[in-house]
Amino acid sequence: MSQNTLLDTPFIPSESTLNPVFDPQEFDRYVMQTYGRFPIAMERGQGCRLWDTQGKEYLDFVAGIATCTLGHAHPTLIATVTQQIQKLHHVSNFYYIPEQGALAKWIVDHSCADRVFFCNSGAEANEAAIKLIRKYAHTVLDFLEKPVILTAKASFHGRTLATVTATGQPKYQQDFDPLVPGFAYVPYNDIKAVENAIADLDEGNSRVAAIMLEPLQGEGGIRPGQLDYFLRLRKICDENSILLVFDEVQVGVGRSGKLWGYEHLGVEPDIFTSAKGLAGGIPIGAMMCKEFCNVFTPGTHASTFGGNPFVCASALTVLQTIEKENILQNVQQRGEQLRSRLRAIASAYPNLFTDVRGWGLINGIELSETISLTSLDIVKAAMEEGLLLAPAGPKVLRFVPPLIVSEAEVDQAAKLLEKVVAKLNV
């Protein structure tokens, strides 16, 4: 066998690959215009700080939208991805992948789930959940012909056709008709609406097979689930053989101050999903279920990239770091600190702000409906001052920093917001 010359003379990545020139006009000529982007580009990050190509420094309270759990350039994550890619980064699920097994075991040991399926994003994890619900309904649950999945208004479950249908916000569904059949919507935190929908949708061989909800609505405006609502919901699901499914894509993996958002609600889901923060910014999705609804068999669902050695080692490192470094305690303390500062700002400007809410390090401050100012206006003004924030709908500002954020950084973020608001409130 001849020597592999490619290995003998490794190609050094070019300067244009590692440091491409930032030119927004050139960018917009080639990339589809699916995002309203700010005209800046980030060049590097460290902890909760980012620097753009102009050298301007930002305090990052977006974290890749609740994704960079350990912040930027975390030494443990760097060591893991470097060592794993040197050893093995991708093989097919034709073979056993020990890193995938270890990650699944960690999740099962630290949650109410018995089984895990791996994919690459939140939407994909929710797709897997929707398929599992339907297979369970067709094969176990009264052999239902037309199972209905109940979701909440103002929810967010992703952008694929089925998950955008599950998303109870018409603005995301516009122009994508025909949507996927088998979904119905109820207002969030309203138990009477659930009871009515279950009764209304029960006809022939069709009925509600699952209720799919976020423990705290993220995108829809940082709305925490209410304890009494979820306790009643669990009871209703048990009495009517309905699966309770939680979308933990944004709130899971420690962001809420507990490992999983459902731990705030006194109930366990039958199925739940995770993605955003799970591997700290390396793309991953996961769908978890209890043994009784573990109805997937070989060939029923799959993903080429799903659960590869690289991403699973990354996720396991993120989870072990959360545990070893007592990060949940930091999330709880920094969350309290942030909410108390936001409440002080809100009460100083009652004409601007109407509410502060959240769990751990997923928090929102709501803008008054009586003023024309939107969350995007404040996001832009904050960016000028070096603070990165994200909107959660037109009237809610979202604060989702890395879970390692320090007391000094929360203090700095609050001071920057005070400065922004003082300037705006003319």
Ligand X SMILES: *Cc1c(COP(=O)(O)O)cnc(C)c1O
Q: How far is the CB of 277 from ligand X (least distance, A)?
A: 10
Q: Is 68 in the site for ligand X (CB under 6 A)?
A: no
Q: Is 219 in the site for ligand X (CB under 6 A)?
A: yes
Q: Is 275 in the site for ligand X (CB under 6 A)?
A: yes
Residue of this chain nearest to ligand X (CB atom) = 122
The DSSP H or E segment spanning 177 is none
- Residue 156 known to bind ligand: yes
- The residue type of 307 is G
Q: How far is the CB of 153 from ligand X (least distance, A)?
A: 14
- Residue 16 known to bind ligand: no
Instruction: Please name the residues in contact with 371: beta carbons below 8 A apart, sequence gap of 6 or more.
Output: 351, 352
Q: Is 127 in the site for ligand X (CB under 6 A)?
A: no
Q: How far is the CB of 176 from ligand X (least distance, A)?
A: 15
Sign of CA dihedral 150, 154, 157, 161: positive
Q: Is 247 in the site for ligand X (CB under 6 A)?
A: yes
Angle formed by the axes of helices 227-239 and 191-200, to 10°? 20
Q: Please select the residue that binds ligand X; options are 250, 308, 314, 317, rule is CB under 6 A.
A: 250
Report long-range pairs for 364-372 (Cβ below 8 Å, ≥24 apart): 364/221, 364/222, 364/392, 364/396, 364/397, 364/398, 364/399, 365/396, 365/397, 365/399, 366/221, 366/395, 366/396, 367/395, 367/396, 367/397, 369/395
Of 403-422, which residues contact ligand X (CB under 6 A)? none
d(CA 400, CA 240): 37
Q: Please select the residue that binds ligand X; options are 71, 158, 309, 401, rule is CB under 6 A.
A: 158
- Residue 250 known to bind ligand: yes
d(CA 265, CA 110): 17
Q: How far is the CB of 258 from ligand X (least distance, A)?
A: 16
Q: How far is the CB of 338 from ligand X (least distance, A)?
A: 19
Q: Please select the residue that binds ligand X; options are 121, 274, 317, 321, rule is CB under 6 A.
A: 121
- Residue 304 known to bind ligand: yes
- Residue 164 known to bind ligand: no
Q: Is 156 in the site for ligand X (CB under 6 A)?
A: yes
**Helix/strand/coil (H/E/C) assignment for every residue in 211-274:** EEECCEECCCCCEECCHHHHHHHHHHHHHCCCEEEEECCCCCCCCCCCCCHHHHCCCCCCEEEE
Tell me if 211 sits within 8 A of 245, measured CB to CB.
Answer: yes
- Residue 249 known to bind ligand: yes
Query: Binding-site residues, please?
Result: 122-123, 156, 159, 247-250, 303-304
Binding site for ligand X (CB under 6 A): 121-123, 126, 156-158, 214, 218-219, 247, 249-250, 275-276
Query: Binding-site residues for pyridoxal 5'-phosphate, please?
Result: 122-123, 156, 247-250, 304
Query: Binding-site residues for N(2)-acetyl-L-ornithine, please?
Result: 159, 303
